[in-house]
Homo-oligomer: A and B are copies of this chain.
């Protein structure tokens, strides 16, 4: 039996294997989520575009303002952060900026880049308990208890090993309050985060203030994102600092930059000198 040559089923199957709703393309035509690229360029901001492409909707100006603030806040925390140190070391090894970005963004994993995502999980779990009719204090208690049973004692988004009060968090929360007043976000997640802070302080006898991960988790949750995108967007944000440091290092020069100044050595704490074991 013949097959019409203009619609080959195999090629269709291959096309379907790579199907996407993000981009449609034909010669001389690129559309993102249905919209011609030339309409987007010069009209939407970079943050609008991030939202449109990743989340799938065009944010309102006030939503974009919050997203923008969260992205601005997380760009860098200095070269003692492994991501930044890695970017600087990578640039002295001979690769290009894309390679330094890759080695560095790669380590924004559960511990270094996951706190925001984890705080979103916690906040959204508590929010789902509110939907079930519980009041804020009880839902928060239950959510915290559940978190500790499942993931251990660290409550993500609160406390900081370096700052007593993370200067980024209060500023971000002020912006959240501003937008909540307009009704464009509900402020419910901000209230949850505030209640967590209150309960942590009551339990510990001292403030464990919200940090940047908690504050951005409030923003991203208020804006309706699922937790994994909290990490994804943090990666975009931190990529800015990674790029800045990689480029600065490039200009400083250096070859094979080690973690300690040239000539310093590590401490060896293994087997004493010995002959090679027989094989």
Contacts and interface: CB of A to CB of B under 8 A. Distances in A.
Interface of A: 1-3, 5, 8-50, 52-54, 58-59, 61, 64-65, 68-69, 71-73, 75-83, 85-86, 88-90, 92-99, 101-114, 161-168, 170-172, 174-175, 228-229, 231-233, 235-236, 239-241, 243-248, 250, 255-262, 264-279
Nearest to A39: B276
Given A32-B75, A58-B276, 15 more contacts: A18-B79, A23-B241, A27-B163, A28-B163, A28-B164, A32-B76, A34-B271, A41-B69, A42-B171, A45-B68, A93-B111, A98-B113, A101-B102, A103-B104, A105-B105
A248 B22 contact: yes
A234 to B, nearest CB: 9
Contact of A235 (B33, B76, B97, B248): B97
A250 to B, nearest CB: 7
Contact of A53 (B11, B102, B241): B241
20 contacts: A3-B5, A8-B9, A15-B264, A19-B269, A20-B79, A20-B270, A22-B244, A22-B270, A27-B163, A29-B167, A31-B273, A35-B277, A45-B279, A46-B46, A46-B71, A82-B93, A86-B89, A93-B113, A101-B106, A111-B256
